Structure 1
Amino acid sequence: MTIQKSILFLSFCLLPWYGFSQGTSENTTDTLSSSPVYKKVNMAFYPAISYTPETSLQLGAIGFFVFNKPPTDSGSRFNRPSSFSPVVIYSLKNQFEIYTDWDIWNRKGWNYTIKAGFRNFPNVFYGLGNRTFSKDKEEYTEERLKIEADLVKPLTEQLFVGLNLNLEHNHLYGFAQDGQIESTSLIGKEGGLIWGIGPVLRLDTRDDVLYPTKGSRLDVKILYYPKELGSSYRFATYVVDFRKYLTIQNEKNVLAFQGVLNASSGNDIPFYKLWWIGGGYRLRGIENVNRYLDKQAMYVQAEYRRKLFWRLGGVVFTGAGEVSDRLNGFRLSEWKYVYGMGLRFQPIKGQNMNIRFDYGMGKGDQSGFYVLVREAF
């Protein structure tokens, strides 16, 4: 990617930051204040020191912005806070990434969930399916520009419909000579542009969008990638994602559950758009997010969350899942199991958005340590 394109994209990522900041200059935004006085914006800035199995140690900076609705909106059905987190990181594996994560609510209930990022990322490929091995991993470099968004409007206070958009451009290089990527007809090694659009249905009864303690959320999404829109590949993806939250005695103790089915159709799916079950938001404890890839994926996970003292909390979690080349190919004997525990830190006092530190272990002596923003689900 050229320097000009990088600067343009950086400006795009920071535009909401600039716009929100300019609109709140008359408000006090003391990051650590515990005063009950209404603040339009709460914000915090931290050095970003994080770690995942895919990146090793990462260094950078992160911002947290929470935009609260005024007390005069307390009677509104959609009095929900908006949030925005810009991140810039560089890893000891020479991986550079800049991204923003927005969750925006307006007074009429329209919700815009947007993730945008650019990465230059040395990566690994293990092969396809459930039976891959660490010794077979092959390194390559991925340069990716990506924007993904859900744009939904309310039909009722809890039911939303809208569009899901996915636009990304990938450039892959640095394949091992005579390796499995170069020597096979693996779809997607040429990179290219993909552009997908499709409907999304959401049923959301959670009591809090940042840290739910009760209620549930169901998302059903379909994305079509037609070549008529300029996509280099033609395929479709399908997502069913259900989450449930239960309070035990009081809101300091929460049980959270998630079940996900990811499916794909078509014979022209680039390997980097196949489904996965590992990573910091799925089965924590699988050694790499790319360890298991295929056209279909299924996983479940559960987590017990406990608020401890000050701004600290703790969790224990477990989960299981697998990938398959077809929907009727899932086998209980092939499921991968993980378990682990984690620590939570609340960067903005009084706002339930956490930095999380999780350590998970999985089948076959796999493990992973994760430092990320927001809950896993």
Structure 2
Amino acid sequence: MLIIASTFISSAIAASEQSKTTTQSLETKASNQSYVPIIAYEGTYGWILGVAYFRYPNKLADNPSDQEFDVLLYAADGPVISLETRWKKYTIAENLDLEIFGDVSNFYVKDYPNAQLEGILIDRQTSKINPKFTQNIKDTHNIVYEFTLDYKDYAEDAPAQYKNGMSVNTGVGYLIDERDNGTNSKKGYMLESSFNLKPHFLSTTKGGTFSTKLELDARYYHSITDKQTFVTRGLFQYTTGNLLDARFGGSKIMRGFDSNRFIGKQALTLQNEYRAQFNKHLGAVGFLSLGQIDTQNDIQINYGIGLRVGLPPDQTQQIRVDFGFDTQGNSTFMLQFNQAI
């Protein structure tokens, strides 16, 4: 979501809660909680008000929680609304974790399917549920199974490859995770490959064909000092069928561009980020990204800076504000949570 955000009020509110928490209670509570109010203004959406809630395991507890739960709720002029949720249950069976993502939104979304249709603003409603199973097979090696039920309602003047209706995606992947921390890694690496199928006979979209998507994701984290980290990420996407599903732009990949700024059938992205942690509450980043997609002739370049504000009681969760720019003079402002890479 692309917004200009003012969230430092949340840090003060959370800090007041932290002062009420003693060391003894921190070590006995099974989970930690953080609340973040959101006040923002964006040219397309107008004023945006929202709240984010996080509940996650307390690693200092004698018996840490085996669950995580996130809720992000945004409401804006229009009116438009977006609700995002994530729930994770560790070890639902032997060596098997379950994570469920949910998303309901009627935000206006800028879609750029190709160079000819660049700039079309599509009014759409979406709803999605995405269960993901991670099976540990040996040490840091995992098999990932996922299933996505997705409904989209596009405007009548939407491009031909977008069809209203429900679609079903199934996928399987292989994950090697050698990171020291999945939320805010400082060292290690992660390698993931995934293959997704979208069978037309499991969809209500008209004119759909059997579509596939292959994704290869590699990330490397290097600690320069105790408070400085360099991160690099390479992402390759390849799709077949009539849907253009390789993309970048938004709050995670190529942050100098709007969400879904570039869409095609194959894309390659290289993203680098330098992180500096000033103290346990405050940090900053600088990033540079390059991307090539088949619907554009030139290599796309973007860069930017960001601010990280840790959320009490233990700073595990973070507010992430990024200011991104591209070589064409465009800029984006993003509020999200936790690290982008």
Partner of 2:154: 172
| 2-structure distance, mates of 1:255, 1:231 | 45
CA contact (8 A) 1:242 1:259 kept: yes
Partner of 1:192: 165
Amino acid at match of 2:107: F
SS at 1:162 equivalent = strand
CA contact (8 A) 2:168 2:199 kept: yes
Amino acid at match of 1:106: T
| 1-structure distance, mates of 2:185, 2:35 | 24
Cα 1:208–1:52, aligned 2, differ >3 Å: closer, same or farther?
A: farther
1:335 aligns with 2:308: no
1:37 offset after TM fit, Å?
A: 2.0
SS at 2:161 equivalent = coil
SS at 2:201 equivalent = helix
Cα 1:80–1:223, aligned 2, differ >3 Å: closer, same or farther?
A: farther
1:127 offset after TM fit, Å?
A: 4.2
Cα 1:305–1:138, aligned 2, differ >3 Å: closer, same or farther?
A: same
CA contact (8 A) 2:248 2:254 kept: yes
If each structure's strand is expressed as a fraction of its own residues, which one has the higher value? 2
Partner of 1:61: 51
Cα 1:65–1:122, aligned 2, differ >3 Å: closer, same or farther?
A: same
1:238 aligns with 2:214: yes
Give CA deviations for 1:64-116 in whole Å, capped at 9, x if unaligned. 1112357667xxxxx99753210110134643101112344238543333321
Partner of 1:8: none
Structure 2: gaps of 5 or more residues: 1-16
Using the size of structure 2 for normalisation, the TM-score is 0.84
Partner of 2:334: 370
1:291 offset after TM fit, Å?
A: 2.2
| 2-structure distance, mates of 1:168, 1:305 | 35
Cα 1:81–1:321, aligned 2, differ >3 Å: closer, same or farther?
A: farther
| 2-structure distance, mates of 1:53, 1:336 | 24
| 2-structure distance, mates of 1:69, 1:236 | 39
1:349 offset after TM fit, Å?
A: 2.7
Amino acid at match of 1:41: S
Match 1:352 to one of 309, 313, 316: 316
CA contact (8 A) 2:280 2:315 kept: no
| 2-structure distance, mates of 1:370, 1:221 | 27
* Larger mean Cα displacement after TM superposition, 43-52 or 367-376: 43-52
Match 1:156 to one of 120, 133, 138: 138
Amino acid at match of 2:74: I
Amino acid at match of 2:143: V
Amino acid at match of 2:215: V
Structure 1: gaps of 5 or more residues: 1-29, 74-78, 176-180
CA contact (8 A) 1:347 1:355 kept: yes
Partner of 1:49: 39
Give CA deviations for 1:243-279 in whole Å, capped at 9, x if unaligned. 11111121x211111110111012x32x5xx222110
The 5 Å alignment of 1:1-377 reads 33=21, 35=23, 37-50=27-40, 55=45, 57-68=47-58, 82-92=67-77, 94-106=79-91, 108-128=94-114, 131=115, 136-173=118-155, 175=157, 181=158, 186-188=160-162, 190-230=163-203, 232=205, 233=208, 234-250=210-226, 252-266=227-241, 268-269=242-243, 274-286=245-257, 288-324=258-294, 334-377=298-341
Amino acid at match of 2:108: P
Count how many residue pairs are aligned between Structure 1 and Structure 2.
Answer: 318
Cα 1:117–1:228, aligned 2, differ >3 Å: closer, same or farther?
A: same
1:319 offset after TM fit, Å?
A: 0.6
| 2-structure distance, mates of 1:93, 1:302 | 37
Give CA deviations for 1:205-255 in whole Å, capped at 9, x if unaligned. 1111221111111111111111333453321111111111111121x2111
| 2-structure distance, mates of 1:301, 1:282 | 8
1:31 offset after TM fit, Å?
A: 5.0
Amino acid at match of 1:153: Q
| Greater relative contact order structure (CA < 8 Å, 6+ sep) | 2
Partner of 1:4: none
CA contact (8 A) 1:222 1:237 kept: yes
SS at 2:138 equivalent = coil
Q: RMSD of aligned C-alpha atoms?
A: 2.6
Cα 1:52–1:156, aligned 2, differ >3 Å: closer, same or farther?
A: farther
